[in-house]
Amino acid sequence: MSTETIRPPRAARGRVTQARVLHSEWIKIHTLRSTFFTLAFAVGAVLAFGPLVSFFTDGKGHGFQPAEWSLGGYIFAQLAVGVLGVLVVTGEYATGMIRPTLTAVPSRLPVLWAKAAVYAAVIWVLMTAASLTAFLLSQAILSSRGVPSTSLSAPGVTRVVFGTALYLTVLAVLSVGIGALLRNTAAGISTVLGLVLVLPILTQTLPTAVADNVFPYLPSSAGRTLAILHQESTMLAPGTGLTVFCLYAAVVLAAAAVALKRRDA
């Protein structure tokens, strides 16, 4: 039969590769309106917050710090980044899309790597651009109003600007991992928000001696060290903090990989 003779070379052409799965996940992420809206919120929050604060502050508020304050929008952006990271995976389970996805890529793991990589890349690009813009705009506004400002050449400031984007990027990977581990949108979003928002507050209720030893190692506080200009002595050094945060993301992603490989889809 003629179809039999054509088939072998065709099959060779149809191989699943990591690059092809990356392409597939890229198509998936930019063809959903929810992606657009959520990321528009994250970018908008970062872009609006710093300049707005700079416009109204007299620079004499408690703990005023021109670099960090100009990037305060990250507080809202991290919510959007966490929620969308979970949805990138759980959206497929909720709609049943996961079946065609895993039928197309039966080895499964390339899908998880691709989702994490594509989403992290998108967040990194957008948040770096947004942070940099927010910082520059804010400093321009501050100096025009005669309020103390800073610049990228000041010691540690580039670290703070790019560190804010890096924190959100690693958070993106962590969220994808949590989504893949839990496979449920509500559970995933609750977990990410709990980790980022609730856990630091809960830790503060512990006796000071305990809290001082626990707080620095929380994912959010370890990850944020890079984005803070002058650390308190109890906190981790920026490099160490980033490493600890990356370890959290790596452990969760590895657990998600094991689960994805072993569980029925």
Partner 1 sequence: MIKARALTKRYGKKTAVADLSFTVRPGLVTGFLGPNGAGKSTTMRMILGLDVPTSGQVTVNGKPYAAHRAPLREVGAMLEARSTHTGRSAVNHLRALAVTAGIARSRVEEVIGIVGLRQVARKRAGGFSLGMGQRLGIAGALLGDPATIILDEPVNGLDPEGILWIRNLLKALAAEGRTVLVSSHLMSEMALTAEHLIVIGRGRLIADTSVEEFTRSASRNSVSVRTDEPWRLRPLLAGRGVNVASDEHGTLQVAGLSSERIGRIAADNRIALSELTPHQASLEEAFMELTREAVEYPTPHPPQANAEGCVA
Number of chain residues interacting with partner 1 (CB under 8 A): 38
3-state SS assignment for residue 166: helix
Nearer Cβ to partner 1 (107/144): 107
Query: Which positions from 3 through 22 interact with partner 1, judged by CB under 8 A?
Result: 3-4, 7, 10-16, 20-21
64: enclosing H helix or E strand? none
**Rounded Cα–Cα distance for residues 140 and 71 (Å):** 14
Minimum Å gap between C-beta 117 and partner 1 is 15
Q: Which of 105, 130, 171, 195 lies at the binding interface for partner 1 (CB under 8 A)?
A: 105
121 lies in the site for partner 1, by CB under 8 A: no
254 interacts with partner 1 by CB under 8 A = no
Q: Applying CB under 8 A, does 102 fall inside the site for partner 1?
A: yes
15: its two tokens: 């191989």
* Cα dihedral sign, 258-240-116-72: positive
Could you give the CA distance from residue 258 to residue 172 in angstroms, rounded to a whole number? 19
Rounded-to-integer distance, Cα 11 and Cα 211, Å: 58
d(CA 256, CA 154): 41
- Angle subtended by helix axes 185-193 and 74-95, to nearest 10: 160
Nearest approach in angstroms of CB 242 to partner 1 is 33
- Give the residue with the Cβ less far from partner 1, 63 or 96: 96
What is the pattern of x (binds partner 1, CB under 8 A) and - over residues 40-79?
----------------------------------------
> What's the N-to-C CA distance of the chain in angstroms?
36
Compare residues 186 and 198 and give the one whose CB is closer to partner 1: 186
| Residue 24 touching partner 1 (CB under 8 A) | yes
Distance CA 22, CA 10 (A): 21
Is 67 in contact with 157 (CB distance < 8 Å)? yes
Q: Does 31 bind partner 1 (CB under 8 A)?
A: yes
Q: Does 258 interact with partner 1 (rule: CB under 8 A)?
A: no
Nearest distance from residue 8's CB to partner 1, in Å? 10
Residues of this chain that bind partner 1 (CB under 8 A)? 1, 3-4, 7, 10-16, 20-21, 23-25, 27-28, 31-34, 91-92, 95-97, 99-107, 264-265
